[in-house]
Chains A and B, each alone.
Chain A
Amino acid sequence: MSVDFDVFYSSDYESVVRIGWSLTGDRAIAEEVAQEAFVVAHRRWERIQRYDNPGAWVRRVAINQSLSWLRRRRVETSGLARVSRERLSEVTAPDSTAEVWRALRTLPKRQVEVLVLVVVEDRSVSDVARILRCGEPTVRTHLRRGRLKLAELLGVDEEVSNGHAK
């Protein structure tokens, strides 16, 4: 299967930015992450375009880069926390939902990956398994644990039997 890169870029860019946005809480960073991911995809397009799902590849890269950014950010923020003179811009997402994204980002990495694909992209378990290259049982496990923890952090009811994943 051959896919035109421009078409791929145009069709997937917005989704990849939203993934980065939910993970980093910063639109500028999310766009930077998306750019990085697509630049890499472009460099390797001859190979990547033959993948069954190039979009899965670029999402994995974007998620990894977002999580790496988060990890660095935590180190940086730990220094900032000790002084009050200057703060990094935190979250540009709406306040009403920022709590959800903040809570999500505190979960273990695998749970974050699964949940962000399920919540932001409304992906099914099988889709998530294909994107993350793991088994569906693994996805269900991380999804269940992630949802339970998220519900605990947010102080809301978790409807396990009526979960979001399909």
Chain B
Amino acid sequence: MVTLNERLQHAREALNALDAPTPPALRAAVRTPGHGRFAAVAASLVIVAVGLTVSAVLVSSRHPSIKSVDTVADTTAAPTTPSITEPAVAATSTTEPSMFERIPTEDLTGALGPLQINPGTSTVNVAASEGQTLTIASSNGNLCLNWTLPSLDVAMASVGCYDYPGIAAFVNERSHPTTRLVAPFDITILAPDNTQLAVLNKDGSEACDLKPTPIPEIGAITVWICTGNTPAQGWDLRFTQTEKTFVSDFPHSSAPQVANPLPAIGDPIPVGKPIRADWVMSIVSDTPWTADECPPLIPVSRDGIIIGYIHNNYTECGHQVTPGPTIIYDAKDNPIGTFINGEPVLNSDTTPST
């Protein structure tokens, strides 16, 4: 009888016998080691470039044209790997944002306009045409959902949107390079506890039965999951958020016990300094990741209130190793803080609204 070792050995030899992958030019790197100021400028250029790209796409999406199936990216195509020496603009404009990236908040809030869903907003309509990609992002820029309409099928990917203070949605015409799914589809969204969400067809019927499941172990957060069976016939997607998120709505509970006490859930994040939550690693895993390697996930409400602590086991690091600039807004959409390396920091001249 064949042994496990023989099977494993055969598998390894077969893998090694495949065409050896040769390292391409490193893609879209924005930092030259040892040149911090240059890195910052380069990163800014990338951010601006992404912003321009997203803005341009959004502008064009307001006059959507029906795309043929041929315009959808080939799902088997190799990823674009522009040279490290290429200008940042070129690198960014040809690279599909991966699930590991964040979309600069400025672009979402500035360009989305009526498509942004803020607490208290009743309904937002998002029309997606054939060949477009519909992207749902949190208002601080994290990509939540991304799906494509390659023909008249519904396509989507489902990922959690963990540092989620609100929902923003927009349509663009870039297709995800690896995801082409058709109806029925699944949607997963993380939202503050007091948020009600619905996904509706344009005739008002429910596109899917969105079921809430509170996850108190990580804070005042509910995960919404649904499966839709609606064939896409140029349908609209509506997310409805029926309740405004107030500070007082978030239950006060203790932060995890650590050497350096963290703010309690329901407390405002500290003014002018980041929350150091590297405790997250040590209490949930025998793997001593540091916050630097795997930034913590701290969901914050729009007005700077901590609504949970997510125990960041290291399997999530893949989503978090490249945090981008994000902004925290108050209830009136004034910027009051930012996320720095995944850690929320309130501006020193602002006080969370209560």
How far apart are A155's CB and chain B's nearest CB, in angstroms?
A: 9
Instruction: Closest B residue to A22 by CB, please name it.
Output: B15
B100 located at the interface, meaning its Cβ lies under 8 Å from any Cβ of chain A in the complex: yes
Given contacts A27-B21, A89-B76, contact A82 B184 (CB under 8 A): yes
**Number of B positions contacting A (CB below 8 A):** 68
The answer to whether B5 and A162 have CB atoms under 8 Å apart is yes
The answer to whether B15 and A157 have CB atoms under 8 Å apart is no
The answer to whether B31 and A43 have CB atoms under 8 Å apart is yes
The answer to whether B78 and A31 have CB atoms under 8 Å apart is yes
Q: Which of A44-97 contact B (CB under 8 A)?
A: 44-47, 49, 57, 60-61, 64-69, 71-72, 75-76, 78-80, 82-83, 85-86, 88-89, 93-94, 96-97
How far apart are B117's CB and chain A's nearest CB, in angstroms?
A: 23
B259 located at the interface, meaning its Cβ lies under 8 Å from any Cβ of chain A in the complex: no
Residues of A within 8 A of B180 (CB): 86, 88
Name the one of B20, B153, B286, B315 contacting A64, with C-beta atoms under 8 angstroms.
B315
A147 located at the interface, meaning its Cβ lies under 8 Å from any Cβ of chain B in the complex: yes
Name the one of B15, B30, B183, B318 contacting A61, with C-beta atoms under 8 angstroms.
B318
Instruction: Closest A residue to B23 by CB, please name it.
Output: A13
- Bound CA–CA A34/B12 (angstroms): 19
Residues of A within 8 A of B6 (CB): 156
Residues of A within 8 A of B24 (CB): 31, 35
The answer to whether B318 and A39 have CB atoms under 8 Å apart is no
- Bound CA–CA A69/B188 (angstroms): 15
Binds A, one of B124-132, B287-295, B344-352: B287-295
The answer to whether B15 and A35 have CB atoms under 8 Å apart is no
B34 located at the interface, meaning its Cβ lies under 8 Å from any Cβ of chain A in the complex: yes
Instruction: Closest A residue to B101 by CB, please name it.
Output: A36
Given contacts A35-B81, A65-B100, A83-B183, contact A156 B21 (CB under 8 A): no
B230 located at the interface, meaning its Cβ lies under 8 Å from any Cβ of chain A in the complex: no
A-B contact pairs, 7 of them (CB 8 A): A28-B79, A36-B318, A72-B159, A76-B158, A88-B181, A97-B11, A154-B7
Instruction: Closest A residue to B287 by CB, please name it.
Output: A133
The answer to whether A150 and B182 have CB atoms under 8 Å apart is no
- Bound CA–CA A57/B289 (angstroms): 10
Q: Which of A107-162 contact B (CB under 8 A)?
A: 109, 119-120, 122, 132-135, 138, 147, 150-151, 154, 156-159, 162
Residues of B within 8 A of A44 (CB): 292
Instruction: Closest B residue to A160 by CB, please name it.
Output: B4
Instruction: Closest B residue to A43 by CB, please name it.
Output: B31
What is the 8 Å Cβ interface bit string for chain A, positions 8-33, against chain B (1 contact, 0 not)?
01100110011001100001111110
The answer to whether A150 and B4 have CB atoms under 8 Å apart is yes
Name the one of A17, A36, A72, A80 contacting B21, with C-beta atoms under 8 angstroms.
A17
The answer to whether A76 and B15 have CB atoms under 8 Å apart is no
The answer to whether B27 and A46 have CB atoms under 8 Å apart is no
Residues of A within 8 A of B23 (CB): 9-10, 13-14
Given contacts A38-B26, A72-B99, contact A5 B81 (CB under 8 A): no
B33 located at the interface, meaning its Cβ lies under 8 Å from any Cβ of chain A in the complex: yes
How far apart are B78's CB and chain A's nearest CB, in angstroms?
A: 6
The answer to whether A96 and B318 have CB atoms under 8 Å apart is no
Q: Which of B86-101 contact A (CB under 8 A)?
A: 98-100
- Bound CA–CA A50/B24 (angstroms): 24
Name the one of A10, A32, A119 contacting B12, with C-beta atoms under 8 angstroms.
A119
How far apart are A47's CB and chain B's nearest CB, in angstroms?
A: 7
